[in-house]
Structure 1
Amino acid sequence: MNYQPDPVSGAIVAESLALFRQHAPLVHCMTNDVVQTFTANVLLALGASPAMVIDAEEAAQFSAIADALLINVGTLTRDRASAMRAAIDAAVQAQKPWTLDPVAVGGLRFRSEFCQALLLQRPRAIRANASEILALAQQVGQGRGVDSLHDSAAALSAAQQLARSSGAVVAVTGVVDYVTDGERTLAVPGGSALMTRVVGTGCALSAVVAAFAALPGDSLQHIASACRVISCAGERATATASGPGSFIPAFLDALWQLDAEALQ
């Protein structure tokens, strides 16, 4: 990477969060079985409305009603893939934004081919770790399940390429998150190592990205704001938590209490 992208400003994040709470988006989360409850609680703590509808017929109906759709392939099955395709088709027809979280793409053939095919459906956003972004961009990259073997900065060029080819705003997350639309890039510092020691923070972030992507205005700034909201809550939770067990309730409380002053 030849340059350091500008960090997203606290003022922009505060504006996006205020808009988010004003709109209270309804988010259709087709996410993995491991994280559904935590994802719902994160969205509720921020002021959004989560729903998990997975039957193919119902998913198609609901994605046309919801403000945003999340597709997370963490526990992908062939039946669930069919339901996801139906939901995406309906969302696209209804002009509702959808977000892709390509969990463990690159290491497993079925999900890798599935996610590559989904890129043709023009997601509004893609949120993934560095190894997943490298694999999705069809560059060298393979993680260890949900764990990245690469630093986020190593995938920035691939993220920019992927953004240009897919039309999505791409968030590659790590110690520093990078959010790009292929032309502009914002850096999102912060977070906490404790966020990697509990299940679901990355998947919940993808749901928050999906929700923020539904807001009117600059999608790049809104999605970078989603990343900063989560990293800021992680920092604040870590300040009071004694370990992973106490981190989760502290994290949900921090999301609930976030305000402009904290985000500055």
Structure 2
Amino acid sequence: MSISNQLPTIDSIIQAHQALKQQKPLVQCLTNSVSVNFMANVLLSAGASPAMVDNPEEAAEFVHFANGVVVNLGTPTAALVDAMKLAIAEANKINKPWVLDPIAAGALSWRGQLAADFLKSKPIVVRGNASEIIGLAGLGSNAKGFDSSNDPAHAVDAAISLLEHTHVVSASGEVDHIVAKTVLDDEEQYWVAKIKGGSFFFPLVTASGCSLGALVAAYAAVTNPFNAVVSAHAHYAVAGKKAHLKVDAPGDFQREFLNELYKVTTEDFEAYLELSINELQVA
């Protein structure tokens, strides 16, 4: 799948951030039990609104009220999976953006198959760590889909292969790698945006990656897919860098990170964001 040929810039990120604050998009979170509280607080602090409507009886109906949906496979149960299937089908039917977070897709067979099946339903974005992106692209390769230690640069080829089913793929880590394809006059171009992560405390805070997926869904409600993913990662990275300067332990970091998500300004993006976008040569 491809997107428009407009590439993200500092200005487009700032515009998306302002739109998020003004529109306060409502994100339906079908997520794992570990992430619920922190994910909700991340969305609220960033300027969006969370809704944890994840039961089969209401999931499809609520998609009509939501501006975006995140599907996170961290702790799947039969009922939650049924709700996910219903929400995905309804989101596709009425053209609501939804984000797939394929936690442990390459490590455990049942959820790996779920992730592969959901991928066929064409999420607007796939967001995970490097191991999850590699695992989703090559199920059965024994990739440790729950291991966040892999370098996101190693997931670029896997991300490119997933673009058949989605608009944008991001692999988060010390340097986030965000891969997308544009088409102009029938000419395909592949791009990778790199954003230096905000803090080494992120892996020590439960659900920090999961919550980034929800923030991607919020930004996808207010701007185009490539800019949405870059903007969400940029917002996270800038807030993380600012929080990191104030603390020396992960518990304090979690608190300050939420504060800084709320306080990020245009000037902060200009001062703290380390962003590069380069064309990829794809055979």
Q: TM-score, normalised on structure 1? A: 0.92
Contact 1:28 1:51 in 2 (8 A): yes
Aligned residue in 1 for 2:186: none
Q: How many matched pairs?
A: 255
1:3 maps to which residue?
none
Is residue 176 of structure 2 the alignment partner of residue 170 of structure 1? no
**Superposition deviation, residue 8 in structure 1:** 6.0
* 8 Å contact kept, 1:181–1:220: yes
1:64 counterpart = 2:71 = no
Q: What SS does structure 2 have at the residue aligned with 1:65? A: coil
> For 1:8 and 1:23, how far apart are their aligned partners in 2?
20
1:16 aligns with 2:22: no
Tell me the CA shift for residue 191 of structure 1: 1.2
User: Which residue pairs with 1:244 in the alignment?
Assistant: 250
Asked if 1:46 corresponds to 2:46, the answer is yes
1:149, distance to aligned residue in structure 2 (A)? 4.5
> Judging changes above 3 Å, is the alpha-carbon distance between structure 1 residues 75 and 232 closer, same or farther for their aligned structure 2 residues?
same
Which residue, 214, 229, 253 being the options, matches 2:221? 214
Q: What is the percentage of aligned positions where both structures have the same residue?
A: 37
The structure carrying a bigger helix percent of its residues is: 1
Structure 2: which 5+ runs fail to align?
1-6, 182-189, 271-283
Aligned equivalent of 1:96: 96
- Give the direction of change, closer, same or farther, for the CA distance of 1:189–1:175 in structure 2 (3 Å limit): same
- Per the alignment, residue 192 of structure 1 pairs with 199
Task: Spell out, residue by residue over 1:53-73, the C-alpha distance to the aligned partner (whole angstroms, 9 max, x if none).
Answer: 111120110012200010001
* Letter paired with 2:97: P
Which amino acid is the alignment partner of residue 116 of structure 1?
Answer: A
CA–CA distance in structure 2, aligned partners of residues 41 and 167 of structure 1: 27
Corresponding residue of 1:180:
179
Corresponding residue for 1:142?
143
Q: 1:242 deviation in Å?
A: 2.4
CA distance in 1, matches of 2:196, 2:248: 22
Q: CA deviation at 1:231?
A: 1.1
Counterparts of 1:105 and 1:113, CA distance in 2:
8
- Contact conserved, 1:11 with 1:260, CA < 8 A, in 2? no
Match of 1:205 in 2: 212
Q: Could you tell me how far apart the structure 2 residues matched to 1:146 and 1:45 are? A: 27
In the TM superposition, what is the alpha-carbon distance from 1:187 to its structure 2 partner?
A: 1.2
CA-to-partner distance for each residue in 1:99-155, whole Å, 9 max, x for gaps? 000011111011000010111111001101111111111174612x63234210011
CA gap of 1:141–1:129, structure 2 versus 1, over 3 A, is: farther
**1:4 matched to which residue of 2?**
none
Name the residue aligned to 2:280: none
CA contact (8 A) 2:72 2:103 kept: yes
* 2:232 corresponding residue in structure 1: 226
**Are the structure 2 counterparts of residues 130 and 141 from structure 1 closer, same or farther at C-alpha, using a change threshold of 3 Å?**
farther
Name the aligned partner's letter for residue 260 of structure 2.
A
Higher normalized strand content (fraction of residues): 2
Q: Give the alignment's TM-score, normalised by structure 2.
A: 0.86
Code of the residue aligned with 1:207 in structure 2: it is A
CA contact (8 A) 1:130 1:151 kept: yes
Does the residue aligned with 2:74 lie in a helix, a strand or coil?
A: coil
| Aligned counterpart, 2:130 | 130
- C-alpha distance after superposition, 1:33-81 (max 9, x if no partner): 0110110001001111100011112011001220001000100012211
Q: Which runs of 5+ in 1 are unaligned?
A: 1-6
RMSD: 1.6
- Which whole-Å CA distance do the structure 2 matches of 1:21 and 1:184 have between them? 28
In 1, the alpha carbon distance for the partners of 2:62 and 2:45 equals: 22
Q: Distance in 2 between matches of 1:214 and 1:169?
A: 14
Aligned to 1:76: 76
